[in-house]
Amino acid sequence: MEKFNNILPDYSKAKVRSNNTTVIKREIFDLPDQIKNIGIGRKYYLRTYGCQANERDSETIAGILEALNFTRVDNEEEADVLFFNTCAIRKNAEDKVLGEIGMLKKLKRNNPDLIFALCGCMAQEEMIVKTILEKYPQVDLIFGTHNIHRLPWLLYNAMMAKEKTVEVYSKEGEVVENLPVSRFGKHKAWVNIMYGCDKFCTYCIVPYTRGKQRSRLMEDILKEVRQLKEDGYKEVCLLGQNVNAYGKDLGIEDGFAKLLEEVAKTNIDRIRFSTSHPRDFSENMVYVMKKYPNIMPSLHLPVQSGNNEVLRRMGRVYTVEHYKHLVDLLKKEIPTITFSTDIIVGFPNETHEQFLDTLALVDYCQYDLAYTFIYSPRENTPAAKMEDNISEKEKSDRLQMLNEKITYYSNLNNQKYLHKTLKVLVDGYSKKNKNVYSGYSEENKLVNFTGDNINVGDIVDVYITEVKSYSLNGVKEDK
């Protein structure tokens, strides 16, 4: 084996954007025997933090580890190799991971041969990698979001040469196709349609940790969806940080509307997608959603703030008026549609009045669900350099006011399903009661229900008998 040279993340390279069109690399996963067999008799444990992009990456990591003949375990103490696929979106997410790495010292003491690997978005951060190298000697392997395909060689080096192995590419490379995958679900699948993000919202670290936007070719995406359908999958969720910009880097105009239409024509039962950016959401998209019943009437449309000045400073490049127009159009064309969103409170110097504008927007849109966050400054982002004079108390008060309003509308929206029948894809048993099944309706409502002859993966009609703030209860209807 060649001598391995460590490569550390470099932030100045991570923010550079070239005009190159996306290059697709078709990986032929042909490993030398000495690498292919390193997992025989060994077990791996994999923990995933963060968003669906990370979940999907973990499925690739699992696929690669299984190709190396490792067996998965759910308990850290049984594992020979441990993976943390991390998220960097907010400081509290990072602190949690660092705390959990701290606790691993004990496992390592019990099993000195244990290999501990850290990957994902935190691994792309210059300061985090520096801290880990200085203060967390229990970490043996660090790799980033751009070189997951290198895992067999990196792991081999960490295990066999017993060297600390660090390889993080700061600049994204090609789109790598044909990597092994071990999917965690049997009926619902994540399908990447693009990687990276070019939006550079001023608060956000993702464009640095995930690199330039790179779209997969439409034919590769469609092939994957068709295969999933053949394998019995009922639902796909098309993934990207800004799905509406799909294809821009391949020179395709209004690419996402075209892609979505083609995916709908595969006749897979259910299609969802995430995340939509209000700026790039075309009116064509609305009509494609309306035209195909297998595109679910449910949309995650992050707004972040209800005030134009704050949106401008966030670099979101749309106005509240544009956002409302989009929501109105979607509600008019697709009357059963439900909405979820993301909102940040306490962006640097957000005034009380500006925050009230966000509450007013929530009143206008009446979301079914919202993920709400207190702003967290991220290394090297433009917002981190903005002066911030809002007290912590004020930030948490705002979050609480916002959350109360969100719960109010969630509950109010759910009332309309009482005594109605919804189509539910059965995910499994309810955690609390094994006689109760659970799944999601087309509108993305969590439904718990009882009934006979129910199999996981079925799509069943459920009559709603009781409504809660964040879920519905019902009974299966027999035809």
Q: Which of the listed partners (ligand F3S, ligand SAH, ligand SF4, none) does 50 bind, with a CB threshold of 5 to 8 Å by partner kind? A: ligand F3S
Contact 383, 355 (CB under 8 A): no
Q: What single letter denotes the amino acid at residue 123?
A: A
Hey, what long-range contacts does 302-305 have (CB within 8 A, 24 or more apart)? 302/275, 302/276, 302/277, 302/278, 302/341, 302/342, 302/343, 303/278, 303/341, 303/342, 303/343, 303/361, 303/365, 304/201, 304/342, 304/343, 304/344, 305/343, 305/344, 305/347, 305/350, 305/354, 305/357, 305/358
Distance CA(477)–CA(382), nearest Å, equals 54
Residue 275: CB minimum distance to ligand F3S, A = 10
Distance (Å, rounded) from C-alpha 239 to C-alpha 210?
13
Closest CA to 311 of 160, 397, 199: 199
Footprint of ligand SF4 on residues 228-287 (CB under 6 A)? 241-242, 277
Nearer to ligand F3S by Cβ, of 384 and 436: the residue is: 384
Cα separation, 401 vs 398, in Å, equals 5
Q: Which does 53 bind (CB under 5 to 8 A by kind): ligand F3S, ligand SAH, ligand SF4, none?
A: ligand F3S
- Cβ closest to ligand SAH, residue 302 vs residue 451: 302
Candidate list 88, 201, 402, 447; residue touching ligand SF4; CB under 6 A: 201
Please report whether residue 207 would count as binding ligand SF4 according to CB under 6 A. yes
Taking the complex as a whole, how short is the minimal distance between the CB of residue 65 and ligand F3S, in angstroms? 19
Residues, the chain? 479
Q: How many Å apart are CA 14 and CA 428, to the nearest integer? A: 41
Give me the phi and psi of 249, to 5 degrees please: -75, -5
d(CA 423, CA 440): 8
Burial of 335 by CB count in 10 Å (0-12 exposed, 13-18 middle, 19+ buried)? exposed
* Complex with ligand F3S: residue 86 or 438, whichever CB lies closer: 86
CA distance linking residue 371 with residue 121, whole number of Å: 20
State the DSSP string of 131-152: HHHHH-TT--EEE-SS-GGGHH
CB of 316 to ligand F3S, least distance (A): 17
Residues within the interface to ligand SAH (CB under 6 A)? 89-90, 203-204, 206, 241-242, 275, 277, 302, 304, 342, 344, 373, 375-376, 378
CB 242 → ligand SAH: shortest distance, Å? 6
Strand 24-26 vs strand 175-177: parallel, antiparallel, or unpaired?
A: parallel
Q: How far is the CB of 241 from ligand F3S (least distance, A)?
A: 7
Report if residue 206 touches ligand SF4, rule: CB under 6 A. Answer: yes
Q: Please state, in angstroms and as integers, the Cα–Cα distance from residue 16 to each residue in 11, 175, 215, following that order.
A: 9, 17, 18
The residue among 190 and 373 lying less far from ligand SAH, judged by its C-beta, is 373
Residue 220 CA to residue 226 CA, distance in Å, equals 10
Beta bridge partners of residue 304, listed in sequence order: 343
Least Å distance between CB 206 and ligand F3S?
5
Binding residues for ligand F3S, rule: CB under 6 A, are 50-51, 53-54, 87-89, 120-121, 205-206, 209-210
Size of the site for ligand SF4 (CB under 6 A): 10
Contact call for residue 212 and ligand SF4 (CB under 6 A) = no
Interacting partner of 207 out of ligand SF4, ligand F3S, ligand SAH, none (Cβ under 5 to 8 A depending on kind): ligand SF4
Q: Does 463 bind ligand SF4 (CB under 6 A)?
A: no
Q: Give me the least distance between CB of 276 and ligand F3S, in Å please.
A: 15
- Residue 248 binds which entry of ligand F3S, ligand SF4, ligand SAH, none, CB below 5-8 Å type-dependent: none
- Selection from ligand SAH, ligand F3S, ligand SF4, none that 9 binds (CB < 5 to 8 A by kind) is none
Tell me whether strands 141-143 and 165-167 are parallel, antiparallel or unpaired: parallel
Beta bridge partners of 46: 83
Contact between 197 and ligand SF4 by CB under 6 A: the answer reads yes
87 is an interface residue for ligand SF4 by CB under 6 A: no
Tell me how far, at minimum, the Cβ of 297 lies from ligand SF4, in Å. Answer: 23
Q: Which is nearer to ligand SAH, 90 or 270 (CB)?
A: 90
Q: Does 310 participate in binding ligand SF4 (rule CB under 6 A)?
A: no
Shortest reach from residue 382's CB to ligand F3S, in Å? 17
**Lookup result for tokens 């330039």:** 212
445 touches, from ligand SAH, ligand F3S, ligand SF4, none (C-beta below 5 to 8 Å by class): none
CB of 94 to ligand F3S, least distance (A): 9
Select the residue whose beta carbon is closest to ligand F3S and give its number.
50
Residue 90 interface partner, choices ligand SF4, ligand SAH, ligand F3S, none, CB cut-off 5-8 Å depending on type: ligand SAH
Residues that bind ligand SF4 (CB under 6 A): 197, 199-201, 204, 206-207, 241-242, 277
